[in-house]
Structure formats: structure tokens, C-alpha cells
Structure 1
Amino acid sequence: MRLFRMIGFYVAVAKGILHLLIYLSKKCRKLLVAVLAAIVAVYILFGFWLATLSTITGLVYVVYNFCDYLLYNPNDPLDSRTNIMSPVSYNLSFESLFITTEDKVRINAVLIKRPDNEYDKCPTMIYFHGNAGNIGHRLQNCYELYHEIGCNILLVEYRGYGLSNGYPSESGLYKDAVAALDYLLERPDIDQNKIVVFGRSLGAAVAIDLAKNGKHCQNIAAIIIENTFTSLPDIARTLFNCRLIRMIPNWFYKNQYNSLMKISSVVIPCLFVSGLNDELVPSSMMTSLFTLCSSQEKELHRLDGTHNFTWRCPNYYAILRTFLAKIMPEHKVMIAANTTTTTSNSATIGYQHTMNYTNLMVTNVHQLPQPLSAHQSLSPEQRQPSNQTLISFDDNDCKSFADHNTIEI
């Protein structure tokens, strides 16, 4: 019996390596060819054993750097580095900017501005997007945030994405976030007491790192976290549910994005928005982050949304408005005056007309449920990982988002 288990294990490992090589041959062909050429050269010059050692070392090197190719997708879609939609397409006033980070990398950003009589009084949201595409793919969402929340929006393009220079990395993205915040703090025409940080998926991990830093969190009024993971090793084991991936220790991952370790250092007001139908990130990960967050003003809302399109759920913007009105009471009148009908149209994507919140009730879309507050404790059932419903978008559901139909984390 033990022999059969050993054989099964080695077969699984062989399959994993084969799938990895096939993927690498498509995704990073030059790197794979270089490693194979080096192995052949070592074999010819020094013999079998050194070639074997070189093969193992080469595979370790390839797998270690493989994380970058899998995680960062600035060329998905293929024209994402050159074809960036302008806010002009949505009749939004904006400034196109280039910000220099502390390590001298020039990153692109777009500041979408409210009218002159509101611009210096309303909140400014720093928007960190997911791992694929560019800031232009988020303009539909930003258009609705602009009208529903009544805020300025600084869309940040990570290094190696869109028109930004450099190459993406975990430490690099953190520096991009710091540079974006520092840029706003240097502008006298921005209300520096109303800076809100928003992050979705990978962007939420970047936002958490920015908010946990004592030096920077004092300049952030609130943070909004949407559909993010506890750490990259955790989500890798979830997405690639095989024994080989589970055997890889955490320290071997080149990118960590360990939000679970950092979230306890976040003390500013924090809103968590979780899509129960997220096909990539289990909602239990968002629950874990909410539980460990040290903020005394935190809320967790669960909507029937998917990973990329929870923002299309009914009441999504009402939740954000209500949360920000608590944090900034003086802004309450302004956001009420600028509310449009975009929320009522969000059901056209095909979501259910009911929403589940904290396993307590099912409510009608026209009723805004009470969130799970910082002073409420989670029941044992809420602490357990929830079963995730895997769904796929129908072409008709996504026809208005043809430029943003890639899956991202």
C-alpha cells in the first residue's frame, strides 16, 4: 500500500513539473530556453552529475521567478501597455501625472477632479487596482464612484503597467503607493484630512501595507478593502489545489503580500467588502482579515458579487456612502446632493436581487442592512471557511465591459 502511495506521489510531482514547463514555454519562453541551454552546456563540459545539479538549481530558479510571471499581468489584454482609455471618454475632468518614487521610477497616475467649487473640500480616493490591465480598465467603476460618492480619484498605475516605467515587484508596488500618498500631501488644493485609500484584490494588499505604516496612516482618513486575500502563499494553495503546491514553504514564495500579518497594525477606519460569489478569493479570507483588524471603526459587508464585479451589486455604493458619512459627517450633505441613478442600474449585470449579510438574514435590495461592526463578535459558524460557488460570466453579462473581462487577483 505504501508503494502505491509513493508511486502516486511521484506521478503527481511529475505532472506538476510537466504542467509548469508547458506553462513556462508559453509565458516565459526566453527564460526557459536560457535555463535549458545552460543545462546542456554544463552536461557537455562537466558531465552528468554536475548537469543534474544544474538542472535542479535551474528549476528552483525558474519556479522562484515564476511567481512574477503568474502574478503580474500588465499585458493582459495584449495592448494594455499602449492602449489606455482616457477619462475624457466619460466626460470627467482630470490631470495626467507622472510621479517619481523614492527609487527613481516614474509611474503614471490620473487625478479625476470634482468641479472647482467642490474639488478642495471633498474626499480624495487613492485607487489601487488588481494585477491585470491598466487604470483605463477601471474608468467605469471610477465614473460611478465620482458621481455616487462625490470624490476626487487618484488612479495609480503600478510600475511596469500602462505608461509607468520599471518592472513590478512587491517592494516596488509598496513604494508606488507611498509615492502616490506623498504626492497628494504635497498638493495645497487637496483636503489632506479626507484622503481615502481604496484597494481591490492585489491593490487591497498594497493598500493594507500603506495603512499599517505608522508614518503614513496618520494621513489616511479611511481604507476600503475589496475581495483580497490573506497572503499570496494562501491564495496559491487555494487556486492550485495540488500536493506539490501545498508542499512549497511560505519562505520560497518570491512575493508574499502577507496582509494577514499586517492587518492587526491597521487602526484607521476600515471597510471590508466581500463578494460571496468570488471565484478566486474565498470570502473566508476577507472574514479573517476583518477579525484581525485592530480598527475600532470597521465594517464587513458581504454582497452576492464575483471577484471583478462586486461593484456592480445593488447597494454597493450606498454602503460606501454610509461608511464615509460616518467618518466624514461634514461630507454627508455633498454626497447626498451628488447621488445619481447609477446604483439602480447596477442590477442589469444579472446579479440576484437579494443580498446575504454576515449569515444573519436575506434582505431586499432597497433596504440597506446593518454591517458587522467592530464591537460585534463572530459566531463559530462565521469563523469557518464558507463554501464558494464557482461561476462564470455569460457573454451578455459582460458585454458592457469588453475591455475589462480578464480575471485578476
Structure 2
Amino acid sequence: MVSYVNALLYGVGGIVVAGMALLVAFQERLVYVPVVPGLTKSYPFTPSRLRLPYEDVWLRSSDGVRLHAWFIKLFPECRGPTILFFQENAGNIAHRLEMVRIMLQKLHCNVFMLSYRGYGASDGYPSQHGITLDAQAALDHLHARTDIDTSRIVVFGRSLGGAVGAVLTKKNPNKVAALILENTFTSILDMAGVLLPFLKWFIGKSTSKGLKILNIVVRSPWNTIDVIGQVEQPILFLSGLQDEMVPPLHMQLLYAKAATHNRQCVFVEFPTGMHMDTWLSGGDRYWRTVQLFLEQHVPEKKEENQSSQNENFSGKGSLKSPM
């Protein structure tokens, strides 16, 4: 009987160890999803499908990887803010074009959409180190352009894109005017326990309990909770309370960490917002919230010497968003 129990325990232990080994070996495939199941890696359509004038941009990251991006201008002489948009995990930038179309209309801005390495038409394979280099290449490209106001570049990231954007913004305090985060996680370490509950005993950071003995083997931890506390620029947090992927608590923790040292943080909740559709379910209130944030923190040059008309837009719970 004892030998049977021992054999059972050894068998279960072996399965657990083998499972952990597979998770470690194939973790990038779990973290990054360039291709949505059932779809192709290529773009299903381009901005021209939505009648958006655009430019195909090809970049080289500092490690030589060839990257693709779309630069979409509202109109040829637009000097409004330029949004450097970092997408969610699954799929490619074409899947975000409907949201970008409305963004252009509502905010009167330009939008630069980067395909991370391994995504869309970009070469290479995704990793935290590599995508960080890709983001820097995109920002450097924007600062080299002469057809935009480089003092009004705003980083906008959703989910994984928020983690990417936070790192880029922290590293470039003189090149990024403001940061917008939507439904972003505190870290991949915390998300591991959300997506695979049994992992919460082995991997975690801010929201997990347990031994966390596997933290050191995670190659893409994306510790946004640590990075956000070092961002100096104004930050707008947009949180969908029905987010089925990233628990809304993550956004609350990110705001709390940032607000301890940054007085230019704003946190806004959208009661019906889910992970991918907060921009849609939030309706006019969502876009007016972003518009007010940009008007205050990324104003037109002619408004620099005028007093702010949005004094109530200065902290959590103080924003009087239109209904």
C-alpha cells in the first residue's frame, strides 16, 4: 500500500514537473499571440478599407529586426497630437482600425500603429526585450519626422500595449508628452495565476500568494507595477469594470502606485467596459474623457500661455465627464 501511494505521488509529481517544464519552454507562445486561431498572420485589410489615408512605414529596431507600421494622418497638414498606439496581445494592427478611425474623428489627431516583431508584416519573434526595442524605434521615427508636432506625442497602450507603453514613456521623459493606459495588467507574473489558476502558487507579484518559485524563469514578466511608479509624465487610466481578461483590480493598483509620486494621474472607470470594447461601450463619455486629458496636458502651442479651463480634471474621482 505504501509503495502504491509513493508511486502515485511520484507520478503526480512527475506530471507537475513536466507541465511546469513545458510552460517554461513554451512561455512566449502563451504570452504572445500574433495569430488569432482561425485567422491568418497577414492583415485582413488596410486603412484604405475604411477610407483612411495612410503611409506604410518600415523601420529597423536597434538589433536589426525589420518592422512594419502604419502612419495615419487625419489630413495632410494636421498638427494635432500624434498618438503612438500599442495594441493588445492577440491579432494584428488591422483588427484595431475601427477604433482608430473613431479616434481620428473624435480627437483630431494622427495615429502611428506599430506591428510588434512577429506580428503582422514585421519580422522576428516576440519577446519583452525585443518589443521594447521595437517601441523605441517607433518613437525615434516619429521624432525624426518633420510633418508632425513632436512635442505632442502621446503613448496609448491597451492591455499588453499598456505594459509596452509604460516602459517606453518611463525611458523617454523628454520625448513622450503623456501616457494613456487602458485595461492593463500589473505584471505577466500576476496574469499567469489569472489565466491558469494553479500557477498562482508558483508565479506572482502584486496580487498573488504562494512560494512564487518560478518567477525567475519568466522571460517576459512585464512588471508594469514597478515601471508605472517611475513615470513622470501625465497618465490617464481607463478601466473597464467588466473586463473579463484583466481583473479591474490591476488598473486600480497601477493608479495607486503611480499616484503616490505623480500628481498628474487621472483614473476613470467605465461600468460596462469589457477588455476589448471599453472604447465602444464607453461611448461619447470615453472619447470626451480622452479629449479633456489631451486638452489639458498636450495643448496646442497657441494655448500654452492660457490658463487651464479644466481645473476639475486633476485626480481620481474629480473628473466631471459628460454623460
Partner of 1:69: 29
Q: CA deviation at 1:247?
A: 2.2
Identity of aligned pairs, percent?
A: 36
Residue 151 (1) aligns with residue 109 (2): yes
Say which of 70, 88, 95 aligns to 1:137: 95
State the alpha-carbon separation in 1 of the partners of residues 268 and 316 from structure 2: 12
State the alpha-carbon separation in 1 of the partners of residues 83 and 302 from structure 2: 16
3-state DSSP class of the match of 1:160? Answer: coil
State the alpha-carbon separation in 2 of the partners of residues 14 and 307 from structure 1: 36
Partner of 2:268: 301
Say which of 107, 128, 137 aligns to 1:179: 137
Q: CA deviation at 1:228?
A: 0.7
Q: CA deviation at 1:89?
A: 1.0
Q: How many residues align?
A: 292
State the alpha-carbon separation in 1 of the partners of residues 248 and 20 from structure 2: 32
- CA contact 1:122–1:331 (8 Å) conserved in 2: no
Partner of 1:286: 251
- CA contact 2:170–2:230 (8 Å) conserved in 1: yes
State the alpha-carbon separation in 2 of the partners of residues 371 and 14 from structure 1: 55
State the alpha-carbon separation in 2 of the partners of residues 289 and 238 from structure 1: 17
Any gaps of 5 or more consecutive residues in structure 2?
204-211, 304-311, 319-323
Partner of 2:48: 88
The residue correspondences of 1:349-368 to structure 2 (distance < 5 A) are none
Q: Provide closer, same or farther for how the CA distance between residues 329 and 202 of structure 1 changes in structure 2, counting only shifts above 3 A.
A: same
Any gaps of 5 or more consecutive residues in structure 1?
19-55, 334-369, 377-409
Q: Which has the higher helix share?
A: 1
State the alpha-carbon separation in 1 of the partners of residues 262 and 173 from structure 2: 12
Q: CA deviation at 1:253?
A: 1.5
The residue correspondences of 1:329-344 to structure 2 (distance < 5 A) are 329-330=299-300
Q: Provide closer, same or farther for how the CA distance between residues 324 and 332 of structure 1 changes in structure 2, counting only shifts above 3 A.
A: farther
Question: Which runs of structure 1 show a deviation greater than 2 angstroms over 4 or more consecutive aligned residues?
Answer: 13-18, 58-63, 77-80, 328-333
State the alpha-carbon separation in 1 of the partners of residues 145 and 45 from structure 2: 25
Q: CA deviation at 1:66?
A: 2.3
Say which of 226, 230, 243 aligns to 1:265: 230
- CA contact 1:114–1:150 (8 Å) conserved in 2: yes
State the alpha-carbon separation in 1 of the partners of residues 107 and 85 from structure 2: 14
Say which of 275, 278, 298 aligns to 1:310: 278
Q: Deviations over 1:336-356 (max 9, x none)?
A: xxxxxxxxxxxxxxxxxxxxx
Q: Deviations over 1:136-187 (max 9, x none)?
A: 0000000000000010000000000110000000101100100000000111
State the alpha-carbon separation in 1 of the partners of residues 170 and 158 from structure 2: 17
3-state DSSP class of the match of 1:146? Answer: helix
CA RMSD of aligned residues (A): 2.8
Q: TM-score, normalised by structure 2?
A: 0.83
State the alpha-carbon separation in 2 of the partners of residues 235 and 247 from structure 1: 12
Q: CA deviation at 1:62?
A: 2.8
- CA contact 1:127–1:198 (8 Å) conserved in 2: yes
State the alpha-carbon separation in 2 of the partners of residues 79 and 199 from structure 1: 23
3-state DSSP class of the match of 1:234? Answer: helix
Partner of 2:315: 373
Larger Rg: 1
Say which of 53, 61, 64 aligns to 1:104: 64
